[in-house]
Structure 1
Amino acid sequence: MRGVAWAAVYVLGLVLLVPSGAWMWWQTPPSAPGTDVNALWARHQWVGEPHTDAEYRSFADLLRRNRITDVYFHAGPFEADGTVPANLYRNAPALLAALHRYAPTVRAQAYLGQIRKVDGHGIIDLDDRNVRTNVLATDRTFLDLGFAGVHYDFEPIYPDDAAFLALLDDTRALTKSRGKLLSVAIEQKTLVDAAQPIFKALLPRTGGFRYPARPTATFLRALAARADQVAIMAYDTQLWTKSLVGLHFAKHAQWTLDLIGDRTTVFLGVPTYRSSTGWAEDLPTALRGVRKGIDALGRQPKKPFGVGIYADWTTSEKDWQDYRKEWPPKAPAGRAAQEQG
């Protein structure tokens, strides 16, 4: 009994130690500035419904003021056969023409995805070569319209998904031949790669699918070798203190940039929606965490990196104000020297 009691005390100590350590670490403000390469996931209405010229100008101004370089315009989803009905993106030509006028440096990408069929659940079967062929034909349609790239968001994607990698190979060949971009949204990295086989054995299905879909280091490198941009969906932490949420974003920023930051552009996804479970998670906390993760890097990645705002349909003016405050631009050299002096 005494051994059980001591074990309980030890476990309780660990439970208390982690939040306490995170709280102490959180008190030191980050020194890293924000970056000038950032992304935004945008609502389907931009490609599906008409807008006024004033609305386009206002949106373009918002992108410029907030240093948004890449916008993933929701243009799907894919049908089960890999197609997208034309009526879903009937406003895309007008949108692209307006962005060319008012925000010519912003890269508008077609955000396309669907629920991946796994173990009989889901909608689109990427293991079917004919479906992948249709997906590529759909990609061509959007590139022909003038989109700067294709942004895939298929979920769930497991680190043994050879069909998804095959689709990326074919898509990269297409986008590269057109001088366009391929970007991919993927879940945050698993905490322990070696645990994936254990999850696979013990959790054959979770919510209709297999074990939690988290990429391993090997799989992230495989994505980075194929995609021009990798957007990490680091949100939905479901943690209960801001310091723990911040630590989560800091660690994923550090791990991901260390792992693939020399190979591809990385965007750390940060939320503006209000989670019903992780009440401590918000945009300022996520941005501060990402900056602290950048502080922890031994050196800066060779490729550009930034954050991805999820999403424009949940982002208020107050959120944008918080973003500009917590993701400040890099100080000009002259001003930085004055501040140090």
Structure 2
Amino acid sequence: MADGPDSTPKPRRRIVRRTVRSLGALLAMLLLVVSAAVAAFAVHGSGTVDRSIRSTGQDAYWLGHAWVDGRKTQTDVDALAAQLEGTGIRDLYVHAGPYADDGTLDPALRPRASWLLEALHTALPQVRVQAWLGNVLAENRMSLASAATRARVLEGAEAILAEGWDGVHYDFEPARNGDQDFLDLLAATHSRTQAAGALLSVATPKLQPVTGLHHLQSSQWTKAYMRRVAGSADQIAIMAYDTFLPSERAFQGYIRRQTTLALDAVPADVDLLIGAPAYQDQKINRFDAAETVPAAIAGVQQALAGRARDRPVGLALYVDFDATEEDWASYRDDWGRTAP
């Protein structure tokens, strides 16, 4: 005969009830922490915004792979040049990869690279064109712990420099806080870019907004690790989006906090850019209505208010194939026109 619904031994039922209660308490605690964080960021994003703080001409724009695989033409280059006229965009990160999991970089991925470089340098002589390269870091994907993989990554970067790109823009995700292999790769790459008179730019994760948070989420960096990464780079672009925050005001406060932390972590002789989400993709870790270009701009302006203007901070717009007219209007009206 099958056991009835009350046949579970009493000790086991007590364990189940205790486990359920413990999980419920833990969930309630997490919800309380998240709610408190959202409220704190919303408060941080409140107050006046100094709209006199504008671009100082060191902004950047991420461009998709269509620019190097043959889908874009001279007409697109001309349109891009017109779009960027009078703005603070100085760097273009053009997707030229990705690396394969073993670290190799297939030149067949960028058959129109030489044409693009000539076309952009002609149309936009004041703009630097960097190769956006990277891959997913995971046990079943790329591992920078392999010296052979790092060596092949360097070979790919050297090939990029030989083609005449103005810089290498690394985007390896997720680069974990404290990863020494990543630091070794950056140091080796930086020696190559310096020898070539080119830039090494790094797209980085967000800084931990609360001390100790990196122990729970190692993809958020400490200021100490960010400082070490910046020591082997010419430019840091913080991907300050995908935050789960539900409101523009909270996201604005988060950007203000990220900018303030970054100003302390990134040395003054390294370019600092804050990523702005000019894209709408309904990802599970972001709310499109909350993470906006206007909120990102306002957060940066709040962070810079009252500071000496001797340390410029740029905005990096992500990404060209999804940016809307509204995104560009916000950038131009609130930030992007260069100061006279």
Task: Give the TM-score taking structure 1 as reference length.
Answer: 0.83
The equivalent position to 1:313 in structure 2, one of 321, 330, 333, is: 321
In the alignment, which residue of structure 1 is the partner of 2:238? Answer: 232
Q: How does 1:83-102 map to 2 (within 5 A)?
A: 83-102=104-123
Write the letter of the residue equivalent to 2:323: T
- Equivalent residue for 2:333, pick from 321, 325, 330: 325
Cα distance in 2 for residues equivalent to 1:96 and 1:308: 20
Corresponding residue for residue 338 of structure 1: none
Among residues 215, 226, 249, which one is paired with 1:220 in the alignment?
Answer: 226
- Residues 185-228 of structure 1 deviation map (CA, whole Å, 9 limit, x = unaligned): 1111012343434x2xxxxxxxxxxx440111111100111100
CA-CA distance at 1:66 after TM superposition: 2.7
CA spacing shift, 1:17–1:188, aligned 2, 3 Å: closer
The one-letter code of the counterpart of 1:291 is Q
Residue of structure 1 in register with 2:39 after alignment: 19
**SS of equivalent residue, structure 1 residue 153:** strand
5 Å-filtered alignment, 1:39-50, equals 39-50=60-71
2:145 is paired with a residue whose SS is coil
Q: Say if 2:262 is the partner of 1:256.
A: yes
Quick check: which has more Rg, 1 or 2? 2
CA distance in 2, matches of 1:49, 1:253: 37
Residue type of the partner of 2:86?
A: R
Out of 167, 173, 181, the position equivalent to 2:199 is 181
Aligned partner (choices 44, 47, 50) of residue 30 of structure 1: 50
The residue aligned with 2:151 is: 133
1:103, distance to aligned residue in structure 2 (A): 0.5
The equivalent of 2:305 in structure 1 is: 295
How big is the shift at 1:125?
1.3
Q: Distance in 1 between matches of 2:43 and 2:35?
A: 13
Q: Is 1:171 matched with 2:177? A: no
Change (3 A) 1:182 1:15: closer
Partners in 1 of 2:149 and 2:91 — Cα distance? 27
Higher-helix-fraction structure = 1
Q: Distance in 2 between matches of 1:133 and 1:17?
A: 42
Partner of 1:48, secondary structure, is coil
Moved more, 29-38 or 103-112: 29-38
TM-score (structure 2 length as normaliser): 0.83
Q: Which residue identity does 2:107 align to in structure 1?
A: A
Residue aligning to 1:207: none
- Partners of 1:280 and 1:310 in 2: CA distance: 15
Q: Judging changes above 3 Å, is the alpha-carbon distance between structure 1 residues 280 and 196 closer, same or farther for their aligned structure 2 residues?
A: closer
Report the counterpart of residue 75 of structure 1 in structure 2: 96
- Paired residue secondary structure (1:226): coil
Tell whether 2:133 aligns with 1:112. Answer: yes
1:45-64 paired onto structure 2 within 5 Å: 45-64=66-85
The count of aligned residue pairs is: 306
Question: In the alignment, is residue 272 of structure 1 matched against residue 272 of structure 2?
Answer: no
Root mean square deviation, CA, Å: 2.5
1:241 to partner: Cα distance: 1.9
Q: Give the alignment partner of residue 156 of structure 1, picking from 142, 151, 174.
A: 174
Contiguous gaps of at least 5 residues in structure 1: 1-7, 200-210, 333-341
Matches of 1:294 and 1:116, distance apart in 2: 34
Displacement of 1:301: 5.0
Q: Which residue matches 2:5?
A: none
Q: Deviations over 1:292-331 (max 9, x none)?
A: 111154x3454x4301001111112232111111215465
Higher relative contact order (CA 8 A, sep 6+): 2
Tell me the amino acid that sits aligned with residue 151 of structure 1.
Answer: H
One-letter identity of the residue aligned with 1:224:
A
Letter in 2 for 1:217: K
Secondary structure of the structure 1 residue equivalent to 2:109: helix
**Cα separation, partners in 2 of 1:227 and 1:115, compared to 1, 3 Å:** same
CA 1:68–1:322 in 2, change beyond 3 Å: closer, same or farther? same
Distance 1:37 1:55, change over 3 A: same
CA contact (8 A) 2:68 2:116 kept: yes
Q: CA deviation at 1:18?
A: 6.8
